[in-house]
Structure 1
Amino acid sequence: MPVERVLSIVEKVNSAVNGFVWGLPMLILLVGTGILMTCLTKFFQITHIKHWIKNTIGGIFKDSHVTAHTDKEDTQISQFQSLCTALAATIGTGNIAGVAAAIASGGPGAIFWMWIVAFFGMMTNFSENVLGIYYRRRNERNEWCGGAMYYLRDGLGSKKGMRHVGSGLAVLFSVFCIGASFGIGNMGQVNSIAVNIKSAFGIPAIATGIFLMILGALVIVGGLKRIASVTEKLVPFMAVIYLICALIVCIVHIDQAGAVFTSIIKGAFGMRAVGGGIVGSGVAMAVQWGMKRGVFSNEAGLGSSVMVHSSSNVREPVVQGMWGIFEVFADTIIVCTITAFTVLSSGLVDLETGVVISDQVSTALVAEAFSTVFGKFGYGFIAIAILLFAFSTTLGWSQYGSKGFEYLFGRKNVKIYQVIFVAFIVVGATMDLSLAWDISDTLNGMMAIPNLIGVLALSGTVMKITQNYVQRKILHKDVKPMLSALDHIQTVHEEEIKKMAV
């Protein structure tokens, strides 16, 4: 059978699966899970907003006081390092290219629906992290191992008659995770870097690929501690620089702020036709693209970031859950919103109809918005931003894939995965990735299916752990803490807490 025929069949099959995975039923499931967890936790992201801000971003400078004691031999990482590693994977091309795609396909109204999916996604991510910490365990190297595969196997699997279902879903999740790590987590990101660097500076893709492969090998093969130490420095730096430049563009075009906000709200509810189409289809496109790109950007519900959040040295599941809330807040409510205002305020989109006036697409649309203020520097800056954003995403996803590989084949075989992952960086830089991107996009979405089944099945457990935390830490009641599903870890954590209290 000719190669073209095989590729054609693969493309058709993938297109059909992708249509379901990222179709309306899946988006309803994703957002529906967030709505359920929001209700079960009594709108925790709003009712305890002061508490979670104080105990996440507000506690960074006293990190040593709120985390467990570590020594040179310990393999765990701090809460802030776990956040940065997770943000490294979530703050990526989705925050630049994804926002531009949402506006181009769904009109300005898509941004409103990105906000909605992020609001409820905060509690989906919260729930994943709570379950990740609660069901995690140590491996032979004393590293914490947690994630959807563990709460599927040990949480869902512990329910009557569900042992084999839980174990099967855990294996499926791990397989989909490994596949997605090579696609969206590796080749897709590296290809974006190579294309942007070539267009901005004329550097050949192969040269970029070899450079990134060497750099990736130095960090990735070093393991989680090295990835965490790099992302801890890289993520805040790149996010702050990008946001400062984007805010400058917004300030220069501040006179457009009212029109931009009005366009977003009207486009979201079909008060005007999006892209000149009929109102009904305009709303549908705004909803679909806003939700799809929102989920793609912050990954809430995919079960990805929980694998690195579970490696934190925190004892309280809810504390790491609050970092999950902050992660979605920072990724979508802050970074994506500022990117959207940068594009919409720069005159590249007709705010009356939602039509993109510019001929540019994807990252180039954002680059053109920056160029309205910074000139040619705007294009170079976005190319560098994509380099940092996308490479950090590759680092984060290498850890996700490692955890999926470890679950299936054991800790001692992870180096095999890491070597193959690093080698594929060059492949990603030099090949046409349209089909590979589409397949990995499908695998990325398929991760969400077993993960969301686990979150929904264990929603009662999340509710109990959250109530337990609120009673102890906010209402100051004397209640036995819920820290781990494993008795020996629960006992150790209780003893550590007692020692700290003394």
Structure 2
Amino acid sequence: METLVTLIQNIAGFIWGGKWGDTVIIPGEMGPLAILLLGTGLLLMIRLGGRPVRRFVPALVEVWQGRKAQGEDGAITPWQALSTALSGQVGTGNLAGVATAIAMGGPGAIFWMWVTALFGMALAFSESSLAIKYRETDEYGRINGGPMYYIKNGLGKKWGWLAVIFCIGTLFSAMATGSMIQANSIAQTAVETARGTFGLSMPFWLVGVVIAALVFAVIIGGIKSIGSVAGKVVPLMAAAYVVCALIVLILNASEIPHAFAVIFKSAFGLQEVVGGAAGYGMMQAVRFGIARGLFSNEAGQGSAPIAHAAAQTKNPVQQGEIAMIGVFIDTIVICTMTALVILTVSGDFKRNPALIAANQCITEGHATLPEGAGVEDLFPSAYTDGREAILAEKGEDAQGFLQACRGAGLNLMNDLPPGTTPEEEEAYFQKALAAAADGSVLNEVRYVYETDAESSGITARAYGTALPGGEWVVTIALFFFAFTTIIGWSYYGEQAVTYLIGEWATHPFRYIWVLVVFAGTLVTNTDALWLLGDIANASMAFPNLIALLALSGVIYAMHKNNGDPDGGHPVHDYRDEERHPKED
């Protein structure tokens, strides 16, 4: 089992970080997927002549008009299609993912999230336009679409193997990150809230039954039911969260200039001292900003166009423009709100200097932890439950590790203000050494993002400090974000099954999906699931991006003619003539 986990870690590390174990394969810690995603987005942005920027306001008008059907074909309105896509896009990544990006890449990661969102809008426009153009009508008159269909119908049946790879990746990604992890997040939050707030001991299986029942009630009706629920819940949950974030920002308005200043300075390596749990620099900001940004809005991954393919519209370009607004809402609006809350909330916060030193040592390759040990097994954060017991048991080993790091060349200047003398750096190291065994030795910091708390803890602590009972903002938002992600991804998985097996498999799949959701609430360790999800997401993104590059000429033609059938690029009806002939 340990060998399998190591293999999964190495594959995921290579895909995103360009590293296999400790060996750097691609300089700059930029994995092939991040390079391909960013490169494809840049290419399409150029070919589209900056359309996402130029057509932004008209696209907003199209979103509003999309509350009503824009054509006879399709199953749900363009508005419901956008809401369904957003239900999959807006999830735990908008809360914990943003905090992780800041913790691992510094505040500058937010700038690179914005950059990837801009290119992501070009990707979203392209893939959703293709999804409408190449969608199919099955023998029951139902609409099926997404990357697998524009691979088959746009590139030809000889590319069917690429569509199969995409569908398999979609199923794995749906089961891991779209279902089990989301359900597990809800269950963990519910159980902890019941115990901490109400003093109740709630079993995980009970939470699982409730979540599974709610999911079943929505998805059993298929895309029309999912679209109807998403069309009502998603806009409300997004608006409510943004309002709460705005209240926090109004209360901390004086800190907003500081937040933007630290974002831009950190983005270009001009401010490397930003706190947190990892070593920084421009490449760290770029890496984690791209990774978290792209998988927050899912642009280029190929999931959202599956939902947009069901829209009642005849114009591919119009739905493509609606789709790009989804990327804007997810990243530029919701993720930015979370980031600004994290970067503006100040108070009496702390962090463990020993953990900071250990992370820098590991990041710079001075030493490695014992096999099977995590950094917080030896160096608990200032907010880790039971940290005193950990220090009592592991303190001597932790001090030995830091001494080995020092002997290998560890220098902590990057975590200290400019102008720090070598003597002051040595004193700081001695404090870190003492903190490895003494829980009272902690650094005081002003901002919540400078703490060493884990990702979701940073977001919850920010709201809890800014507002009375603010932790509930994160708790409630997490439930709705995760729940809507589960119902949105159920449709993506269903469409993958339909392509691989046939329409008859959709109903059995819905029952299986509910069982998977229940099982997700009982998982005790989701680390392997997250890693498998990263790999599965990549197996979706790679074939989708290859298809976008191969069909970039079609994308350009639709863009040039605005999807007008009279322009020579009509939406074809790909229904099976033998089983479901067209009407005269």
Q: Give TM-score scaled by structure 1 length.
A: 0.87
Corresponding residue SS for 2:450: coil
Partner of 1:468: 561
Q: Offset of 1:281 from its aligned partner? A: 5.0
* Residue from 20, 36, 41 that aligns with 2:43: 36
Which stretch shows the higher mean deviation, 20-29 or 178-187?
20-29
Q: Offset of 1:481 from its aligned partner? A: 5.0
CA distance in 2 between partners of 1:288 and 1:136 (Å):
34
Partner of 1:498: none
Equivalent residue runs for 1:173-212 within 5 Å: 173-202=166-195, 203-212=202-211
Partner of 2:54: 47
Deviation digits for residues 362-406 of structure 1 (CA, Å, limit 9, x no counterpart)? 22211111112222x211221111010000000000000000000
Contact 1:117 1:291 in 2 (8 A): yes
Deviation digits for residues 447-481 of structure 1 (CA, Å, limit 9, x no counterpart)? 100000000000010000110118x6xxxxx9435
* Residue from 384, 399, 421 that aligns with 2:476: 384
Structure-2 change in CA distance of 1:229 and 1:218 (3 Å): same
Contact 1:20 1:26 in 2 (8 A): no
Partner of 1:493: none
Q: Offset of 1:442 from its aligned partner? A: 1.2
Contact 1:274 1:283 in 2 (8 A): no
Partner of 1:494: none
Give the root-mean-square deviation of aligned CA atoms. Answer: 2.5
Amino acid at match of 2:285: A
Q: Offset of 1:347 from its aligned partner? A: 2.0
Deviation digits for residues 270-308 of structure 1 (CA, Å, limit 9, x no counterpart)? 00115469x995111111111100011000010001011
CA distance in 2 between partners of 1:136 and 1:218 (Å):
27
Equivalent residue runs for 1:339-354 within 5 Å: 339-347=338-346
Amino acid at match of 1:257: I
Structure-2 change in CA distance of 1:412 and 1:176 (3 Å): same
CA distance in 1 between partners of 2:130 and 2:566 (Å):
20
Amino acid at match of 1:30: L
Contact 2:88 2:484 in 1 (8 A): yes
CA distance in 2 between partners of 1:253 and 1:180 (Å):
38
Pair 1:15-2:16 in alignment = no
Amino acid at match of 2:567: K
CA distance in 2 between partners of 1:345 and 1:146 (Å):
43
CA distance in 1 between partners of 2:205 and 2:14 (Å):
35
Partner of 2:361: none
Corresponding residue SS for 1:22: helix
Partner of 2:519: 427
Partner of 1:446: 539
Q: Offset of 1:415 from its aligned partner? A: 1.5
Amino acid at match of 2:481: F
Pair 1:480-2:487 in alignment = no
5+ residue gaps, structure 1: 1-6, 158-162, 473-477, 490-502
Deviation digits for residues 203-245 of structure 1 (CA, Å, limit 9, x no counterpart)? 3322211100111111112211111111111101111111111
Amino acid at match of 1:361: E
Partner of 1:86: 85
Corresponding residue SS for 1:311: coil
Matched pairs, number: 463
Contact 2:241 2:477 in 1 (8 A): yes
Partner of 2:145: 146
Partner of 2:498: 406
Structure-2 change in CA distance of 1:104 and 1:137 (3 Å): same
Contact 1:106 1:274 in 2 (8 A): no
Which stretch shows the higher mean deviation, 112-121 or 19-28?
19-28
CA distance in 2 between partners of 1:393 and 1:355 (Å):
28
CA distance in 2 between partners of 1:331 and 1:48 (Å):
18
Amino acid at match of 1:130: S
Corresponding residue SS for 1:330: helix
CA distance in 2 between partners of 1:362 and 1:177 (Å):
26
Equivalent residue runs for 1:4-403 within 5 Å: 7-23=1-17, 24=30, 25-56=32-63, 58-60=64-66, 63-64=67-68, 67-69=70-72, 76-157=75-156, 163-164=157-158, 166-202=159-195, 203-275=202-274, 281-347=280-346, 356-375=449-468, 377-403=469-495
Corresponding residue SS for 2:470: helix
Contact 1:275 1:282 in 2 (8 A): no
CA distance in 2 between partners of 1:281 and 1:232 (Å):
40
CA distance in 2 between partners of 1:274 and 1:414 (Å):
52
Contact 2:346 2:448 in 1 (8 A): no
Q: Offset of 1:96 from its aligned partner? A: 0.5
- Identity, % of aligned pairs? 37
CA distance in 2 between partners of 1:210 and 1:264 (Å):
43
Amino acid at match of 1:191: N
Q: Offset of 1:140 from its aligned partner? A: 2.2
Partner of 2:25: none
Corresponding residue SS for 2:49: coil
Deviation digits for residues 162-197 of structure 1 (CA, Å, limit 9, x no counterpart)? x43x10000010001011100000001111111112
Q: Offset of 1:483 from its aligned partner? A: 2.8
Contact 1:90 1:299 in 2 (8 A): yes
Partner of 1:4: none
Amino acid at match of 2:508: I
Contact 1:276 1:355 in 2 (8 A): no
Deviation digits for residues 19-62 of structure 1 (CA, Å, limit 9, x no counterpart)? 23223221111011111111111110122223222222x425xx
CA distance in 2 between partners of 1:173 and 1:201 (Å):
40
Structure-2 change in CA distance of 1:315 and 1:479 (3 Å): closer
Contact 2:96 2:455 in 1 (8 A): yes
Deviation digits for residues 141-181 of structure 1 (CA, Å, limit 9, x no counterpart)? 21211111111112122xxxxx43x1000001000101110
Structure-2 change in CA distance of 1:258 and 1:210 (3 Å): same
CA distance in 2 between partners of 1:81 and 1:285 (Å):
37
CA distance in 2 between partners of 1:315 and 1:381 (Å):
40
CA distance in 1 between partners of 2:140 and 2:307 (Å):
16
Q: Offset of 1:100 from its aligned partner? A: 0.6
Contact 1:197 1:384 in 2 (8 A): no
Amino acid at match of 1:405: V
Q: Give TM-score scaled by structure 2 length.
A: 0.76
Q: Offset of 1:486 from its aligned partner? A: 4.4
Partner of 2:406: none
Q: Offset of 1:341 from its aligned partner? A: 0.2
CA distance in 1 between partners of 2:110 and 2:6 (Å):
30
CA distance in 2 between partners of 1:414 and 1:274 (Å):
52
CA distance in 1 between partners of 2:574 and 2:510 (Å):
33
Pair 1:436-2:522 in alignment = no
